[in-house]
Amino acid sequence: MTRPRIAYQGEPGANSHLVCKEHYPDSEAVPCASFEDVFAVVESGEIDLAMIPIDNSIAGRVADIHHFLPQSGLHIIGEHFLRIRFHLMGVPGASLDTITTAHSHVHALGQCRKIIRRLGLRPIISGDTAGAAREVAEAADPTQAAISPPLAAEIYGLEILAEDVEDEDHNTTRFVVLSRDFIKAPAGNGPVVTSFIFNVRNLPAALYKALGGFATNGVNMTKLESYMVDGSFSGATQFLAEVDGHPDDIGVKRALEELAFFSTDVKMLGVFPADPSRT
């Protein structure tokens, strides 16, 4: 029997790879060079699913994803939260006394400033956190260190020089699982998140009227983000929203009906089980 395949952006050992291993251990995790490649291989049917980071508790939304997702034709079928951990690692024989540079993605370097400053390291930007570990392993230089996820040390044969070197211990990324098929979570079987996109005309109180039904029906909205449509400041505005509840719940159903009345192009992105980490 053929193993399901799930695509992620980055090199083996990246946090996206770790989430795939944790939640889809029976699937083959397939690395892709860019987010655009991830969407393309799933849209084409070459790969079954995608694991994509969408929000980070420190850096905010992942901008590229919010650009691709509305136009992709893919659907959200699940979500997973990952506490982001970074280790400082080097080649066998390296130590905190020998290293002089720290290689990693620009965001990871920014999230690990304290140890970089304390050790007097020179930050070197790499394209990917796991890629930084691979580059350090290939260089075989005891003066180089990588700031990467723990899985990368295992994959590239590096030694851990310091654990959990991130500045903040609440650094968490939310990942969503994407599929070509709209797999709707059943109602009445635990907490559910409903995700959708809609447009409103650029008129006074248009958004207020469109969203009024969620307030009057007691529906909790957990996400609301706006995007210009076709690069126009004066045209319609697109919004991505998420609410707690299932479209079959009476309150959510009534709120969506009111939304449709005051907006255009309402598109359901997903109805999926809420990750337990939400609570």
Q: Copy the structure tokens of residue 129.
A: 């956190």
How far lies 125's CA from each of 104, 118, 146, in Å? 5, 18, 10
Catalytic residue among 129, 173, 194, 237: 173
Kindly tell me the number of DSSP H helices and DSSP E strands found in the chain: 9, 15
- Pairwise CA distance, residues 250 & 88, whole Å: 51
Annotated catalytic, 172?
no
Contact indicator for 87, 148 with CB cutoff of 8 Å: yes
Residues 6+ apart with CB under 8 A from 18: 82, 149, 151
Q: Is the dihedral of CA 122, 123, 125, 129 positive or negative?
A: positive
Annotated catalytic, 175?
yes
| Residue 179 DSSP one-character state | E
Contact indicator for 47, 32 with CB cutoff of 8 Å: no
Catalytic residue among 35, 68, 86, 175: 175
> Which are the catalytic amino acids?
173, 175
